[in-house]
Amino acid sequence: MGDTLKQVILEAETLPPFTSSARKITALASNIDCAPADIVRVIETDPTMTVALIRLLNSDYFSMETPCYTVSEAVVTLGITTVKNIALKTGERRTLPTFTDADPGALGLHMHCAGTGMIARHLARFLALPPRVQDQALSAGLMHDLGKIALLNAMPAQYSSAVQKAKEQGVSLDVSERTHLDCDHSQVGQMLSEAWNLPEIFTITMGDHYESTLSISDERTFALFDCVTAANTIIQRKGFGTSGDPEPPKLTESAKTRFGISSSEALEKKLPPTLVEELNQLQEMLHHA
Amino acid sequence: MKLTFRGVRGSIPAPGPKTVRYGGNTTCIEIRTDDNDLIILDAGTGIFPLAHTLFPELPITAHVFITHTHWDHIQGLPFFIPLFIPGNTVHLYGARDPVYDRDLQEIMAQQWQHTYYPVRDAELKAHLHYHTLREGETIPVGENTTVTNIFMNHPVLNFGYRIECNGKSIFFTGDHEHLLNIFQPDELGYEGFQLAMDEKSRRIIDFIKGVDILIADTSYTEDEYPERIGWGHGTYDKNVALAREAGAKQLYFTHHEPTRSDDDLDTLLEELKGRYPAEEGMPICHLAREGELIEL
Ligand SMILES: [Zn+2]
Ligand SMILES: [Zn+2]
Note whether A72 contacts B: Cβ–Cβ < 8 A.
Answer: yes
Per-residue pLDDT band for A214 (boundaries 50, 70, 90) equals low
**Domains in chain B, start-ordered, CATH in brackets?**
2-288 (3.60.15.10)
**What integer pLDDT is reported at residue A63 of this predicted model?**
77
Per-residue pLDDT tens digits for B34-88: 999 999 999 999 999 999 999 999 999 999 999 999 999 999 999 999 999 999 9
Question: Which of B193, B194, B197, B206 should we substitute to test contact with A (largest number of A Cβ atoms within 10 Å)?
Answer: B193
Please tell me the number of the ligand nearest to residue B254's CA: 1
**B53 Cα to the center of ligand 1, angstroms:** 24
The CA distance from A70 to the nearest CA of chain B, in Å, is: 9
Query: What is the count of residue pairs from A and B with beta carbons less than 8 Å apart?
Result: 73
Per-residue pLDDT tens digits for B171-229: 999 999 999 999 999 999 999 999 999 999 999 999 999 999 999 999 999 999 999 99
Return the minimum-mean-pLDDT range out of A101-115, A166-180, B52-66: A101-115
| Three-state secondary structure call for residue B42 | coil
Note which residues in 244-273 of chain B have CB less than 8 A from chain A.
none
**What integer pLDDT is reported at residue A288 of this predicted model?**
77
For residue A82, pLDDT beyond 70 = yes
- For A104-287, the fitting CATH number among 1.10.3210.10, 3.20.20.70, 1.10.1740.10, 3.90.110.10 is 1.10.3210.10
For residue A212, pLDDT beyond 70 = no
Mean pLDDT of the region B254-266 = 98
Q: Which residue of A has its CA nearest to B192?
A: A132
**What integer pLDDT is reported at residue A2 of this predicted model?**
81
Mean pLDDT of the region A48-70 = 94
Separation CA A201–CA A212 (nearest Å): 12
**What integer pLDDT is reported at residue A95 of this predicted model?**
74
Q: Which of A70, A73, A80 sits opposite B182 (nearest CB)?
A: A80
Q: Which of A61, A70, A76 sits opposite B134 (nearest CB)?
A: A61
Query: How do the domains of chain A map onto residue ranges?
Result: 15-91, 104-287
In B, which residues are within 8 Å of A56 by CB distance? 98
Per-residue pLDDT band for A211 (boundaries 50, 70, 90) equals low
Question: Which of B195, B203, B204, B206 should we substitute to test contact with A (largest number of A Cβ atoms within 10 Å)?
Answer: B195
Note whether A134 contacts B: Cβ–Cβ < 8 A.
Answer: yes
Per-residue pLDDT tens digits for B223-253: 999 999 999 999 999 999 999 999 999 999 9
Question: Which of A69, A76, A78, A274 should we substitute to test contact with B (largest number of B Cβ atoms within 10 Å)?
Answer: A76
Kindly report the pTM of this predicted structure: 0.96
**What integer pLDDT is reported at residue A289 of this predicted model?**
67
Q: Cβ contact (<8 Å) for B155 and A81?
A: yes
Q: Which helix (H) or strand (E) holds B127?
A: strand B127-132
In A, which residues are within 8 Å of B187 by CB distance? 37
**What integer pLDDT is reported at residue B163 of this predicted model?**
98
Q: Which of B99, B182, B189 sits opposite A135 (nearest CB)?
A: B189
The CA distance from A177 to the nearest CA of chain B, in Å, is: 34
Share the mean pLDDT of chain B. Answer: 97
Separation CA A229–CA A250 (nearest Å): 9
Q: Which of B155, B182, B191 sits opposite A40 (nearest CB)?
A: B182
**SS3 per residue for chain A:** CCHHHHHHHHHHHHCCCCHHHHHHHHHHHCCCCCCHHHHHHHHCCCHHHHHHHHHHHCCCCCCCCCCCCCHHHHHHHHCHHHHHHHHHHHHHCCCCCCCCCCCHHHHHHHHHHHHHHHHHHHHHHHCCCCHHHHHHHHHHHHHCCHHHHHHHHHCHHHHHHHHHHHHHHCCCHHHHHHHHHCCCHHHHHHHHHHHCCCCHHHHHHHHCCCCCCCCCCCHHHHHHHHHHHHHHHHHHHCCCCCCCCCCCCCCCHHHHHHHCCCCHHHHHHCCCCCHHHHHHHHHHHHHCC
